[in-house]
């Protein structure tokens, strides 16, 4: 008989182990006691005792928030609907709702936070299509999450156009335990029962660990992720040199009326993390110069056409994409200007 009882106990215990959350809240636990004894060597009638109605298992409130992003989410200045992904797990022992909130706080991926992403919104994965879908994932709180259940939560935000390469916005998602039991209706935040133990009452017990921005056993948990700006980082340098004048011609020329001056516009993406495309420079010329080479200077210019003044990468200098209209010069650079690349455009003017 003892072996049978032990075996039955192990089966029940094994069933409890299968659910990491443990015995469900509100479960009534009862047991009975049998006292077997003898008097004068003669077995007497067993005495049975029980604990009345037993006791109720309390409601363990425990939630775990973890970011699903293995690295910062790379974003471009001016981009919208950028997504951070989190997982919220009900580590308690009862169906619960969860209130969700975000804050511009915390630490993630060893980044330094220096701006706030805008238009921050929270959405819960609907389960229809994996990944954030604006038309499908519309719920803003977690409804009726079973013990040991998990939900994917998205933080969706926009990146200001003024941000530059290397900027970071750290965002923390917090999930707070709320009362479950009513589908499609967000329950109110739970309250920790700090009163005396009541064996016939299902009491609420906060049992969560400390999160990114919250304390231990406060009915909530949090974790952080981050947006990291990756963009082109362009610098532009304009220079000039005189390449011919009507007095000295090509030998030690000076900037006198009739002289030809070459302008260079150098664009570098040296510190960029992404390519720059559709790069166009416009230069409005003063009335004291005329675009192009005028008069007798044309022949002499041919002798020094390789001169590109202040361009540090003369091999990339070009005039093929430079044009002028009514005194405005437009230089269109070859696309893309890749990270760590420099391009230079140049054009000639004649001093009036």
**23 prior amide bond cis, ω within 30:** no
Contact 213, 255 (CB under 8 A): no
Q: What domains can you pick out in the chain, each with its CATH number?
A: 60-229 (2.60.40.10), 235-351 (2.60.40)
**Whether residue 347 has pLDDT greater than 70:** yes
SS3 state at 77: coil
Q: How do residues 153-181 score in pLDDT, each as one tens digit?
A: 999 999 999 999 999 999 999 999 999 99
- 175 contacts: CB under 8 Å, gap ≥ 6: 63, 65, 88, 98, 99, 100, 142, 153, 220, 221, 222
DSSP secondary structure of 215-275? -TTSSEEEEEEEEEE-----EEEEEEEEEEBTTTBTSS----TT-EEEEEEEEE-TT-SS-
pTM for this entry: 0.75
Nearest to 264 by CA among 325, 208, 218, 306: 306
Highest mean pLDDT among 160-169, 290-299, 301-310: 160-169
Contact 219, 207 (CB under 8 A): no
Q: How do residues 91-101 score in pLDDT, each as one tens digit?
A: 999 999 999 99
Highest mean pLDDT among 209-218, 253-262, 271-280, 296-305: 209-218
When pLDDT is averaged across residues 335-349 and rounded to a whole number, the result is 85
Task: Kindly state the DSSP code that residue 53 receives in the 8-state scheme.
Answer: T
- Structure tokens belonging to residue 15: 């069933």
When pLDDT is averaged across residues 325-340 and rounded to a whole number, the result is 88
What is the overall mean pLDDT for the chain? 87
Q: How do residues 46-67 score in pLDDT, each as one tens digit?
A: 998 876 668 899 999 999 999 9
Confidence of residue 294 (pLDDT cuts 50, 70, 90): low
């Amino acid at each position: 008989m003892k072996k049978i009882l032990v075996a039955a106990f192990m089966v029940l215990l094994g069933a409890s182990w299968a659910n990491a959350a443990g015995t469900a809240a509100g479960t009534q636990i009862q047991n009975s006691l049998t006292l077997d004894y003898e008097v004068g060597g003669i077995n007497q009638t067993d005495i049975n005792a029980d604990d009345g109605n037993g006791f109720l298992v309390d409601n363990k409130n425990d939630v775990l928030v973890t970011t699903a992003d293995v690295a910062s989410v790379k974003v471009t200045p001016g981009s919208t609907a950028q997504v951070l992904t989190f997982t919220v797990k009900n580590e308690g022992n009862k169906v619960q709702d969860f209130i969700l909130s975000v804050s511009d706080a915390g630490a993630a991926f060893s980044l330094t936070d220096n701006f706030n992403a805008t238009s921050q919104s929270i959405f819960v994965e609907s389960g229809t299509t994996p990944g954030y879908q604006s038309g499908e994932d519309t719920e803003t709180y977690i409804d009726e999450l079973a013990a040991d259940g998990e939900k994917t939560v998205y933080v969706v935000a926009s990146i200001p156009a003024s941000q530059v390469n290397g900027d970071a916005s750290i965002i923390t998602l917090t999930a707070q335990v709320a009362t479950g039991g009513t589908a499609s209706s967000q329950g109110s935040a739970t309250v920790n029962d700090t009163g005396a133990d009541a064996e016939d009452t299902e009491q609420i017990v906060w049992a969560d660990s400390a999160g990114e921005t919250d304390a231990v056993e406060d009915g909530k948990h949090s974790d952080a992720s981050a947006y990291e700006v990756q963009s082109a980082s362009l610098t532009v340098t304009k220079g000039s040199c005189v390449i011919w004048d009507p007095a000295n011609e090509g030998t030690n020329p000076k900037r006198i009326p009739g002289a030809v001056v070459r302008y260079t516009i150098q664009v570098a993406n040296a510190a960029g993390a992404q390519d720059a495309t559709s790069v166009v420079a416009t230069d409005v010329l003063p009335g004291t110069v005329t675009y192009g080479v005028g008069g007798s200077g044309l022949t002499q210019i041919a002798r020094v056409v390789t001169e590109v003044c202040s361009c540090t990468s003369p091999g990339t200098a070009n005039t093929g994409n430079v044009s002028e209209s009514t005194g405005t010069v437009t230089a269109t650079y070859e696309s893309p200007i890749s990270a760590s690349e420099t391009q230079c455009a140049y054009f000639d003017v004649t001093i009036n």
